[in-house]
Amino acid sequence: MPRAVITGAAGGIGGAVARTFAAAGYELALLDLSKAEQPGAESIALDLTDPEAVAEAFERIARRWDRIDALINVAGINHRAPVREMAVADWDRMMDVNVGHMFLTAKNAVSHMGEGAAIVNMASISGHVATPDYPAYVTTKAAVESFTFALSQEVGDRGIRVNAVAPGWVNAGFTDAALSEAENPQDIFDAAREAHLLGRMAEPEEVADAALWLASPEASFVTGQTLFVDGGLMRKH
């Protein structure tokens, strides 16, 4: 049975990733601030920006498993503030969660990974297209791809693949939060129809399927790449 560690698994996209990997026969360890609900999975509640907590979580995982086949880094936060108004602490937190946690999990995971193992990091089209008033998010999501590329170079000779998934708008998580705050939620769906060639947002399972493929032997010669799961949004820019 293959084994996957998934961060952000209590969230919208991370939850779909956990369900998708479970359905594909993976044994799961789920890391998030709160315990992720998934039958049969080991859920560990922690702050993924805490180096000691992350190290302890991987020690716990290593006591149970003799290897890790997949690390799927999904945890992330968003913060709306233009540069001139953003608090330094908010900027630092964005970096620590969105990029730093991927460094910490990879740092602890790669020694338990070998030939055929894979890491998948959740990026975003926001690292590529105008997203006004979200400079920290844009910066972190671009950095996720740079980190993915750099790590793929470091571990390629051990047969470990590292890729990123860059979704467009996804009908879950951050979008749920935006919908609940919107005066007219239909405006968001209308904007999504305009933004994507396919005329809609992604369902979280469509993003999870891409992560599953990148982690699978079917993607055995794919590394250092970003897979855009964006319904053609990038092709409209």
> Catalytic site residues?
137
Is residue 197 helix, strand or coil?
Answer: coil
Q: Within positions 138 to 197, which residues make up the interface with ligand NAD, using CB under 6 A?
A: 167, 169-170, 172-175
Strand partners, 135: none
Contact flag: residue 124 with ligand NAD (CB under 6 A): yes
CB of 180 to ligand NAD, least distance (A): 12
| 7 to 46: interface string for ligand NAD, x by CB under 6 A | -x-xxxxx-----------------xx-------------
**Count of C-beta atoms within a 10 Å radius of residue 214:** 24
With contact defined as beta carbons under 8 Å apart, do 164 and 225 qualify? yes
Containing 101, the helix (H) or strand (E) segment is helix 101-109
Which residue in 74, 76, 83 sits closest to 135, CA to CA? 83
CB of 164 to ligand NAD, least distance (A): 10
- Cβ proximity of 79 and 138 under 8 Å: no
CB 65, min distance to ligand NAD, A? 20
Q: Which residues are at the interface with ligand NAD (CB under 6 A)? A: 8, 10-14, 32-33, 47-49, 74-77, 97, 122, 124, 167, 169-170, 172-175
